[in-house]
């Protein structure tokens, strides 16, 4: 009996498994080889009245006495019942979250070829830097003289991103890729308003292969979306694009390389057509990891692009965030950038860069924030963005240097093409051409011939300790399997993945029922998502009543 079979047998009902209530026997099942089968109760279920972790000192007599001279809180604003927060010891807290963590697959535990998300290694030195108290304890509203390090770092990072992308300037304020899109499209609209064409330009064009965030962003900016079909080679249909362009079009939002992992080989003509029509050329930079050193969107003529620091520049994805979505712009959008912008107030920019690249401060250099930007779209986020991500991205770029970043993209593309070639015998490849950082297969053969869906394949991949690729996206590929290996996976890991995918293709033909039953080694099996949406259970319900707040002061 294989390990997989053995676990499957056990999950069908054996000691240490879920009881009738559905609550797992967390304590009956020792940590170790069984780690992934442990079910951990909610933190509320560990709670016992009076237990606690962190303690705070009592206020001094002096403080208390002085405070008595001031009015306390009026009863009308005070809370009646204390919030039922958990009451646990530090050790209980750690065990709970450590156990929860063991229920996850993550980059540091397994291969994670989730297409479009660039799940590369997140270097530890970046985390070391993010914990320096000079950064963590820096208040964003501290006087600028006290925050010169944070401001210099932001200025330097913007300079580096500018050079990588070929844009005129970069704002670091947006908190995520979609937030960068919103920022970029607000700037596009501000630009059209500044030329008197704000009213007439109401449409945004998006290819049918685009990320869902693109049309959602267009709506948030008040635009209507027009979808442009792809051509038979997976690129944008240039004729359809030209036909759709006109005096009512505000912008084209295009992902390049596309979500099919394909570089738009007519990109120069696409940009020219958009600009000729007076529209803004927006590039979704989610896939920048494929093209560093090979294609600079700003230099090629794009007006605006968002970066995803959590993809290309290795900041951790955090289970869904934080990300960071800086935006680069061309000269004509420069006046509309969010405010404030970190600026060099005193000093020669070339000298400051030169010194910083050599690891040196520049005497007399002074950094600040430029709020005086009358045409700015305003602020898109409080303060100055996800600074903690900025500093990690800065550390990453400095570690790699220009040569390293080029090699990052080269190796990412090499790995994706290797998987493309190695898996082409087992799975359909709707667009069989050189790809960039990711390759999109179709599971349609397995579905038609054996009744095994891409969802079945993905769940079966889980049983091999690998995170599945992105599935059912892009929407234009039937039963899509979008695989992005990234540059940080070794050839052995790639080969093992190839073996697993080949094995699954064989199993699909020989024993399709086994795939439809997957996964069998995970802490839970396929979950009832329809039921979750029909009867939303979005919070814990307490058995115990709330108790009155017992304030000692105020």
Partner 1 sequence: MAYTPHTDPDRAAMLAAIGVASVDDLFADIPERVRAGEWDLPAPMAEQEVRAELSRLASANRIPQVSFLGYGAYRHLVPSVVSEVVGRAEFSTAYTPYQPEVSQGTLQSIYEFQSLICELTGMEVATASHYDGATATAEAALMACRLTRRDRVAVSAAVHPEVRRVLATYCSGPGIEIVEIAVDLAQDASGQTDPAAAAAALDTSVACLIAQQPNAFGVLEPMAELGGAAHAVGAQFVAVVEPTSLAVLQAPADYGADIVAAEGQPLGIPMAFGGPWVGLMAARMGSVRQMPGRLVGATRDAAGRKGYVLTLQAREQHIRREKAASNICTNQALCALAATAYLTAVGPAGLREVAELGMTQARHAVTALRRAGLAERRFSGPYASEVAVTLPDARRRHAALAEQGIVAGAPLGRDYPELDDTLLLAATELTTDADVERLVSALAASR
Using rule CB under 8 A, residue 192 touches partner 1: no
From residue 395, alpha-carbon distances to 76, 312, 344, 540 in Å are 50, 13, 20, 40
3 state DSSP class of 228: strand
Give residues with Cβ within 8 angstroms of 30, minimum separation 6.
none
Q: Applying CB under 8 A, which of residues 34, 101, 247, 349 lies at the interface with partner 1?
A: 101
Interface map 229-248 toward partner 1 (x if CB under 8 A): --------------------
Compare residues 10 and 332 and give the one whose CB is closer to partner 1: 10
Chain positions 295 to 314 lying near partner 1, rule: CB under 8 A, are 295-296, 299-301, 310, 314
Both structure tokens of 207: 């290819």
Least distance to partner 1 from the beta carbon of 84, Å? 5
Least distance to partner 1 from the beta carbon of 505, Å? 18
Using rule CB under 8 A, residue 362 touches partner 1: no
Using rule CB under 8 A, residue 422 touches partner 1: yes
Least distance to partner 1 from the beta carbon of 395, Å? 5
The span from the CA of 147 to the CA of 145, in Å, is: 6
Least distance to partner 1 from the beta carbon of 436, Å? 8
Q: Applying CB under 8 A, which of residues 413, 476, 480, 501 lies at the interface with partner 1?
A: 413
Give residues with Cβ within 8 angstroms of 205, minimum separation 6.
225, 226, 227, 228, 241, 244, 245, 249, 251, 252, 253, 279
With contacts defined by CB under 8 A, name the span among 77-85, 274-282, 329-337, 499-507 that binds partner 1.
77-85
Chain positions 448 to 477 lying near partner 1, rule: CB under 8 A, are 458-459, 462, 467-468, 470, 473
Q: Applying CB under 8 A, which of residues 4, 10, 25, 44 lies at the interface with partner 1?
A: 44
From residue 212, alpha-carbon distances to 114, 216, 225, 259 in Å are 16, 6, 11, 11
Burial (CB count within 10 angstroms: exposed 0-12, middle 13-18, buried 19+), residue 25: middle
Chain positions 148 to 187 lying near partner 1, rule: CB under 8 A, are 148-150, 152-153, 160, 163-164, 166, 175-179, 181-182, 186
Using rule CB under 8 A, residue 63 touches partner 1: yes
Q: Applying CB under 8 A, which of residues 30, 246, 247, 321 lies at the interface with partner 1?
A: 321
3 state DSSP class of 356: helix
The span from the CA of 196 to the CA of 254, in Å, is: 25
Compare residues 201 and 310 and give the one whose CB is closer to partner 1: 310
Q: Dihedrals φ, ψ of 73, to 5°?
A: -65, 135
Q: Applying CB under 8 A, which of residues 2, 15, 33, 80 lies at the interface with partner 1?
A: 80
Using rule CB under 8 A, residue 506 touches partner 1: no
Both structure tokens of 226: 């027009």
Chain positions 330 to 359 lying near partner 1, rule: CB under 8 A, are 338, 356-357, 359
Using rule CB under 8 A, residue 548 touches partner 1: no
Compare residues 448 and 499 and give the one whose CB is closer to partner 1: 499
Least distance to partner 1 from the beta carbon of 140, Å? 4
The span from the CA of 298 to the CA of 281, in Å, is: 10
Q: Applying CB under 8 A, which of residues 3, 28, 31, 82 lies at the interface with partner 1?
A: 82
Strand 224-228 vs strand 366-370: parallel, antiparallel, or unpaired? unpaired
Which of 312, 334, 292 shows the shortest CA–CA distance to 187? Answer: 334
Chain positions 114 to 153 lying near partner 1, rule: CB under 8 A, are 114, 117, 119-123, 125, 127-143, 145-150, 152-153
Least distance to partner 1 from the beta carbon of 363, Å? 12
The phi-psi region of residue 400 (left if phi > 0; otherwise alpha if psi is between -120 and 50; otherwise beta) is alpha
Q: How many CA atoms lie within 13 A of 481 on its CB side?
A: 29
Q: Applying CB under 8 A, which of residues 87, 197, 248, 428 lies at the interface with partner 1?
A: 87
Strand 280-284 vs strand 249-255: parallel, antiparallel, or unpaired? parallel
Using rule CB under 8 A, residue 528 touches partner 1: yes
Residues 48, 22 contacting (CB under 8 angstroms): no
């Amino acid at each position: 009996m294989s390990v997989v079979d053995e676990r499957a047998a056990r999950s069908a009902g054996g000691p240490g498994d879920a009881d009738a209530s559905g609550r797992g026997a967390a304590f009956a099942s020792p940590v170790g080889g069984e780690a992934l089968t442990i079910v951990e109760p909610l933190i509320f279920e560990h709670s016992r009245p009076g237990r606690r972790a962190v303690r705070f000192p009592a206020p001094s007599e002096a403080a208390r006495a002085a405070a008595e001279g001031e009015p306390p809180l009026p009863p009308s604003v005070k809370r009646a019942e204390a919030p039922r927060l958990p009451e646990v010891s530090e050790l209980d807290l750690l065990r709970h979250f450590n156990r929860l963590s063991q229920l996850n697959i993550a980059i540091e535990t397994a291969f994670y070829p989730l297409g479009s998300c660039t799940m590369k290694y997140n270097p530890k030195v970046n985390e070391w830097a993010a914990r320096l108290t000079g950064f963590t304890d820096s208040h964003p509203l501290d006087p600028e003289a006290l925050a010169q390090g944070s401001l210099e770092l932001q200025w330097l990072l913007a300079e580096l991103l500018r050079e990588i992308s070929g844009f005129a300037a970069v704002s670091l304020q947006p908190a995520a890729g979609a937030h960068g899109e919103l920022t970029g499209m607000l700037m596009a609209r501000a630009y059209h308003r500044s030329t008197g064409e704000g009213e007439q330009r109401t449409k945004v064009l998006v290819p049918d292969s685009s990320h869902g965030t693109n049309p959602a962003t267009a709506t948030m900016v008040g635009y209507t979306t027009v979808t442009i079909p792809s051509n038979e080679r997976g690129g944008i249909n240039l004729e359809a694009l030209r036909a759709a362009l006109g005096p009512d079009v505000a912008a084209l939002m295009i992902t390049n390389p596309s979500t099919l992992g394909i570089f738009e080989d007519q990109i120069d003509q696409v940009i020219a057509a958009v600009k000729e029509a007076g529209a803004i050329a927006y590039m979704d930079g989610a896939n920048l990891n494929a093209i560093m050193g090979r294609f600079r969107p700003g230099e090629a003529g794009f007006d605006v692009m968002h970066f995803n620091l959590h993809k290309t520049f290795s900041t951790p994805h955090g289970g869904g965030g934080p990300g960071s979505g800086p935006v680069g712009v061309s000269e004509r959008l420069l006046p509309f950038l969010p405010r404030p912008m970190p600026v060099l107030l005193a000093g020669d920019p070339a000298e400051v860069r030169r010194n910083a690249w050599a690891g040196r401060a520049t005497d007399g250099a002074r950094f600040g924030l430029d709020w005086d930007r009358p045409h700015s779209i305003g602020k898109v986020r409080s303060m100055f963005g996800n600074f903690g991500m900025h500093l990690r991205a800065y550390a990453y770029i400095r570690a790699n240097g220009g040569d390293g970043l080029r090699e990052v993209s080269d190796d990412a593309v090499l790995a994706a093409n290797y998987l493309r070639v190695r898996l082409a015998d087992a799975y359909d490849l709707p667009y069989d051409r050189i790809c960039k950082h990711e390759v999109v297969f179709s599971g349609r053969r397995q579905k038609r011939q054996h009744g095994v869906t891409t969802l079945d394949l993905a769940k079966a991949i889980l049983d091999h300790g690998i995170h599945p690729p992105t599935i059912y996206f892009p929407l234009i590929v039937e039963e899509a399997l979008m695989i992005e290996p990234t540059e940080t996976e070794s050839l052995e890991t790639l080969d093992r993945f190839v073996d697993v995918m080949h094995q699954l293709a064989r199993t699909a033909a020989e024993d399709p029922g086994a795939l439809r039953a997957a996964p069998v080694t995970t802490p839970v099996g396929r979950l009832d998502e329809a039921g979750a949406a029909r009867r939303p259970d979005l919070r814990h319900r307490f058995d115990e009543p709330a108790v009155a707040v017992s304030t000692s002061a105020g």
